[in-house]
Structure formats: structure tokens, C-alpha cells
């Protein structure tokens, strides 16, 4: 491929093809003369040949699955050895309703659980807090205490199935509840597996459900790293999330660059604490979006693995498992349309396929009705069946990295990498990730991309089927999940009963000890676990930390 004579032959043949074949057909076709771009506004050529990847050493740069730089997958057998985990993101109302949905999905073939929490829980408030009014259970399940966690996982073998929890500001407390629930059931915490999202930098950048200022928030995250590798070794103590960055309007390149930048910041913070990189790095995981440009997404995942392995090696990681980028993928919620919601099934199928061809370790497929409401049972079952059809019928799992070596895919993978390092350099010039956040760098970049993308749709320069092309005027034809309004009062009554029946002096003592520890520099996880075991609520525990750490107020960016 690097032989000059062969490349010259390719170049000559391409020139002839352009002149004798391609140019004649596009000469009088204005549609063919337009600029073709992907969702990151990278210009895409009409054809890719060996010229475009002549710089690549296919053995050194691409490697093999399960070997550095892991471009072609982190496992040597990939899906021939084991399918990805089918982990449907679920949660609504109270713990009772969500527990029922988990059991429904498990009965239909789901292989891992993924918990969506409501906004009061994400912000560290109990259901009966005035801040929670009107928000109970609307975008996830409400969890205010260990009692709720016990109901949420009642009848579910938490030592045999892994659970992912999308929680950030109060992640340490929610994780403590999960651990305490397992311990109360006689399950050794060393045997439970799963993931807490725990990614606060992404919150400052995109989702905004932060509680504490950056410094104490980072302290809590490193506390979970340290406690995790010592006491709960099967647990991923962070899921560094590009998903919400992308949903906020970022491009694929921005999602890749900002997510990896956040991940490297966590590694550096842990090392500054004195943790050894090979003790915790293998338990860092990632969470990416699967958007609509099929090949762009595949290139993004492949580039992510290679960049991560390279950068962790630079930081001193010696063990091969420390270099592995393990990631979960969710199809793009922002791409779903309320118009003709059934066609979202096709969107989700293509997005899921890109994640699988890109080598994901677990996958959530969005339901067709999510632009309208929380998923109905039927819609969530169809979304799960979509994964099962790809796994069992499509044949894409028969070979490893079937798109590896494609001229276009390899060129685009390199291009994504190149653009990512440009963003790394820009953030570094601003002083690093936290200073860049404080200066609004990431926020402005995302806002500008979101505006540009929406403008293209509004001006019909980017087609969204059913929205600005192939439109139909028809009544909604799919059933929508309706919430039980009685759930909130049931939850409030449970909190009242909990506070009456628990040992209040023990709660007060443990909360006081947590507050004193927070004023120092001890690892807070053991103190949080003591509070949770005593049935201190989420809000009570968070309030102790609020008193010590304060609350974060985002500075004006413009």
C-alpha cells in the first residue's frame, strides 16, 4: 500500500475514472455538485482509494482485535465470544413501577439493567422536598432512601446481573444505597457489578444537573475510584459520558474530544491523589451517543479506542487492561421525531447497527415513542427486539470489525482523531478542562453547533424525514404511557413512615460524622455508607455535604 509505483497507478486510474465516468454523469446534475458533509461538517469526497490511507501502516496503526491500540476492538473474540449487553435505560414513577418494568424487560431477553432517575433524585432532593414538587417520576424513578432502593431491586438477583445507574451529583450516595441493599440481602459487595455514571465534568458542560462546586465534586469522584478498586472491584466507578454532550447539540467530533478530555482529567486527578493508574484505570468506562450518520459514528468509536489507549500509555499505564476503552452506547434521543413516530424504529436500527459495528460493549435502543412520552411496554419491547434481530439474524456478529480496512472508514477514523487533538490543544491553551469550563469554551462550542444544525433543518438544507420532507398530516396512532398520579403521595407517605420508624439518633450521629469528615480530607464513602445503612435519606445526606461544600452556581457565559 505504501509502494510509490502502486499508488501512482491508483492515482492515474482515479484520474481516468473521474474524467471518463464520474464527471460525465455529474456534469448536468446540480445535485451531484453540492458539498457533501457529515454531521461534524467534515467534507466527504466522492470516492476513497488507497491514496487516502497511504500513510497508514495497516499492521501497526490498525493492529488486531484485543491488541494495542485496540482500534479493531478491545476483545480478541468480540461478539463471536459474547454478545454486547442489551441494557435498556428504564425508570419512571416510583420504585414499584420501575421494578415491574425491569422484570418485564428481563423476561423478554434484556441482559443488563440501566436505571433512569427523576430530576429531584439527580439533584439530590427527596420527593417531599419543595424543590421536587411536580417533578416526581417524570423522567426516571424517584429514589429518596435505601427503602426505595430495596423495592427497586426486589426479586432481582443483583449478584448475577449488572446494573448501570445514570446518576452524577449524588452518585456516591446512590451507589452506597445499591451496595447497602446488596449487603442487607447477604450479598458480598465484592461480588456485585455495574456502573455509576458519576461524570460531573459533563454536567458542567452539558446536562447541568450538578450540585457541588468542581473541587469537592472531583473529590467525591476520586473517593469512589479509591473505594471501588479496594472494596467493590467488579464495579465501574465512572461512566464518562459523551451522550449528554451530543444530546445538547455537539457534533460527533466535539462529543469525542470533550468526552476523552474529561476522562483524562479524571485520570490526572486520581493520580494527583496518589492513586496508581493501573489500580483504577481498568474500571473507567465510557458512554457514547449513536447518531444518524452511520459511518461517522463507527469512525468515532474506533478513534476513541485508539486515542484512549495511546494517552493512557503516555500517562504511565502498564497493564493492557488499563488501556481498554470499554463503552456503552445509546441511540440518539435527540434524533427521534414526534412526527410519524413509527419511523423512529428505522432510525434506531441504523444507529444501533453503527454502535455494534463500532464495537460497543453494551447498548440501549430508544423506543419509538420517546419524543412523546416515557416508553410504553410495547415500544420498549420493540426496541429490545431490534437489538435481538441484529444479534441473531443480521450476520454482523460473525466476524470481528468487518469494516476495518475500508478506505473511507480508516480515513474518517484518522480525521476524527486529528480534529479531536485540535480540541485538546485549544482546551490546553485555556489552562485545561476546568478552566475551559469556567470560561464557557465547551458550552459555546456546543451552542454554536446546535444552532448551525437547527438552522440547516429550518432552511431545508438538512433533511429530517417526516419533519421537513415526506411530511404527513395524520393523528397519533400509537398508545402513550400514562403516569399514575397516586405514586407521588405513596412515596411521600413512605418517607414519613421511614422517618418515624428509623433510629433517629443513629441517623443524626452518622450525618454528623459525615459532615466532620467532609471538612477534612478522608475518603467519604465509608461515612456515606453508614448514613445510608441507618436510612438517612438522599436529601438529608446531600444537605450535609451542601453545608460543607456549598452549591455550584454557573457563571454567566455571555
Whether residues 345 and 452 share a domain: the answer is: yes
pTM of the model: 0.96
Residue 2 lies in a domain: no
203-246 residue pLDDT tens = 999 999 999 999 999 999 999 999 999 999 999 999 999 999 99
Whether residues 249 and 297 share a domain: the answer is: yes
At 30 the pLDDT is 67
315-371 residue pLDDT tens = 999 999 999 999 999 999 999 999 999 999 999 999 999 999 999 999 999 999 999
497-508 residue pLDDT tens = 999 999 999 999
Residue 46 lies in a domain: no
Residue 41 lies in a domain: no
Taking alpha carbons only, the member of 140, 68, 512 closest to residue 311 is: 68
Is the confidence at residue 1, as pLDDT, over 60? no
Distances (CA, A) of 185 to 180, 510, 534: 9, 22, 15
> Which residues, in sequence order, are CB contacts of 389 under 8 Å at separation 6+?
none
> Helix or strand or coil: residue 241?
strand
Residue 45 lies in a domain: no
Whether residues 439 and 511 share a domain: the answer is: no
Strand partners, 43: 37
At 477 the pLDDT is 78
% of the chain beyond a pLDDT of 70: 99
Whether residues 417 and 514 share a domain: the answer is: no
120-149 residue pLDDT tens = 999 999 999 999 999 999 999 999 999 999
Whether residues 104 and 247 share a domain: the answer is: yes
Is the confidence at residue 59, as pLDDT, over 50? yes
Whether residues 443 and 536 share a domain: the answer is: no
343-356 residue pLDDT tens = 999 999 999 999 99
Place of cell 419543595: 130
Whether residues 421 and 497 share a domain: the answer is: no
Residue 25 lies in a domain: no
Residue 536 lies in a domain: yes
Residue 223: its H or E element: helix 214-231
At 19 the pLDDT is 85
Whether residues 382 and 514 share a domain: the answer is: no
At 126 the pLDDT is 98
d(Cα 134, Cα 395) in Å, to the nearest integer? Answer: 47
Whether residues 523 and 392 share a domain: the answer is: no
Domain CATH number, residue 396? 3.20.20.240
Question: Do residues 206 and 248 touch, judged by C-beta distance below 8 A?
Answer: yes
Whether residues 423 and 536 share a domain: the answer is: no
At 151 the pLDDT is 98
Taking alpha carbons only, the member of 136, 132, 140 closest to residue 102 is: 140
pLDDT-derived band at 29, boundaries 50, 70, 90: confident
Whether residues 301 and 405 share a domain: the answer is: yes
pLDDT, averaged across the chain: 95
pLDDT-derived band at 23, boundaries 50, 70, 90: confident
Question: Do residues 121 and 96 touch, judged by C-beta distance below 8 A?
Answer: no
Is the confidence at residue 475, as pLDDT, over 90? no
Residue 253 lies in a domain: yes
526-558 residue pLDDT tens = 999 999 999 999 999 999 999 999 999 988 765
Is the confidence at residue 60, as pLDDT, over 90? no
Whether residues 414 and 541 share a domain: the answer is: no
Residue 213 backbone dihedrals phi, psi, to 5 degrees = -65, 165
% of the chain beyond a pLDDT of 90: 88
Place of cell 449487603: 183
Residue 37 lies in a domain: no
* Structure letter (DSSP) for residue 394: S
The domain total for the chain is 2
Residue 525's domain spans which residues?
487-549
Amino acid at each position: 500500500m505504501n509502494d510509490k509505483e502502486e499508488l501512482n497507478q491508483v492515482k492515474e486510474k482515479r484520474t481516468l475514472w473521474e474524467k471518463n465516468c464520474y464527471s460525465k454523469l455529474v456534469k448536468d446534475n446540480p445535485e451531484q455538485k453540492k458539498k457533501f458533509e457529515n454531521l461534524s461538517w467534515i467534507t466527504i469526497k466522492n470516492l476513497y482509494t488507497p491514496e487516502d490511507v497511504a500513510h497508514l501502516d495497516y499492521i501497526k496503526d490498525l493492529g488486531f482485535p484485543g491488541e494495542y491500540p485496540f482500534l479493531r476492538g478491545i476483545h480478541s473474540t468480540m461478539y463471536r465470544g459474547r454478545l454486547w449487553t442489551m441494557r435498556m435505560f428504564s425508570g419512571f414513577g416510583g420504585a414499584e413501577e420501575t421494578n415491574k418494568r425491569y422484570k418485564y424487560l428481563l423476561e423478554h431477553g434484556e441482559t443488563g439493567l440501566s436505571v433512569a432517575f427523576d430530576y429531584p433524585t439527580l439533584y439530590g432532593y427527596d420527593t417531599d422536598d419543595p424543590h421536587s414538587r411536580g417533578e416526581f417520576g417524570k423522567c426516571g424513578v424517584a429514589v429518596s432512601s435505601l427503602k426505595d432502593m430495596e423495592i427497586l431491586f426486589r426479586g432481582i438477583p443483583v449478584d448475577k446481573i449488572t446494573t448501570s445507574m445514570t446518576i452524577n451529583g449524588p452518585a456516591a450516595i446512590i451507589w452506597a444505597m445499591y451496595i447497602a441493599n446488596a449487603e442487607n440481602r447477604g450479598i458480598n459487595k465484592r461480588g456485585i457489578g455495574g456502573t455509576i455514571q458519576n461524570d460531573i465534568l459533563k454536567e458542567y458542560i452539558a446536562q447541568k444537573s450538578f450540585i457541588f462546586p468542581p473541587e469537592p465534586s472531583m473529590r467525591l469522584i476520586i473517593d469512589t475510584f479509591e473505594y471501588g478498586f479496594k472494596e467493590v472491584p467488579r464495579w465501574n466507578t465512572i461512566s464518562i459520558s459523551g451522550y449528554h454532550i451530543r444530546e445538547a447539540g455537539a457534533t460527533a467530533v466535539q462529543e469525542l474530544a470533550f468526552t476523552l478530555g474529561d476522562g483524562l482529567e479524571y485520570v490526572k486527578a486520581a493520580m494527583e491523589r496518589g492513586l496508581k493508574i493501573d489500580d483504577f484505570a481498568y474500571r473507567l468506562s465510557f458512554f457514547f451517543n449513536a447518531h444518524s450518520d452511520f459511518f461517522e459514528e463507527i469512525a468515532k468509536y474506533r478513534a476513541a479506542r485508539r486515542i484512549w489507549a495511546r494517552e493512557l500509555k503516555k500517562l504511565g499505564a502498564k497493564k493492557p487492561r488499563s488501556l481498554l476503552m470499554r463503552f456503552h452506547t445509546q441511540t440518539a434521543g435527540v434524533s427521534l421525531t414526534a412526527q410519524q413516530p413509527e419511523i423512529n424504529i428505522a432510525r434506531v436500527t441504523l444507529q444501533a447497527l453503527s454502535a455494534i459495528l463500532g464495537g460497543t460493549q453494551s447498548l440501549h435502543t430508544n423506543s419509538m415513542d420517546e419524543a412523546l412520552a416515557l416508553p410504553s411496554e410495547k415500544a420498549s419491547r420493540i426496541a429490545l427486539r431490534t437489538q435481538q434481530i441484529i444479534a441473531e439474524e443480521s450476520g454482523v456478529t460473525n466476524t470481528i470489525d468487518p469494516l476495518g480496512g475500508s478506505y473511507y472508514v480508516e480515513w474518517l477514523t484518522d480525521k476524527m482523531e486529528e480534529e479531536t487533538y485540535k480540541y485538546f490543544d485549544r482546551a490546553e491553551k485555556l489552562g485545561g478542562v476546568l478552566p475551559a469550563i469556567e470560561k464557557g469554551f465547551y458550552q459555546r462550542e456546543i451552542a454554536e453547533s446546535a444552532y448551525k444544525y437547527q438552522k440547516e433543518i429550518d432552511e431545508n438544507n438538512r433533511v429530517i424525514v417526516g419533519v421537513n420532507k415526506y411530511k404527513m398530516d395524520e393523528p397519533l396512532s400509537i398508545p402513550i404511557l400514562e403516569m399514575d398520579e397516586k405514586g407521588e403521595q405513596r412515596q411521600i407517605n413512605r418517607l414519613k413512615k421511614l422517618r418515624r420508624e428509623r433510629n433517629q439518633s443513629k441517623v443524626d450521629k452518622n450525618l454528623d460524622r459525615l459532615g466532620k469528615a467532609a471538612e477534612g480530607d478522608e475518603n467519604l464513602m465509608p461515612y456515606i455508607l453508614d448514613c445510608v445503612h441507618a436510612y438517612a435519606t438522599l436529601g438529608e445526606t446531600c444537605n450535609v455535604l451542601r453545608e460543607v461544600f456549598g452549591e455550584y452556581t454557573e457563571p454567566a457565559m455571555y
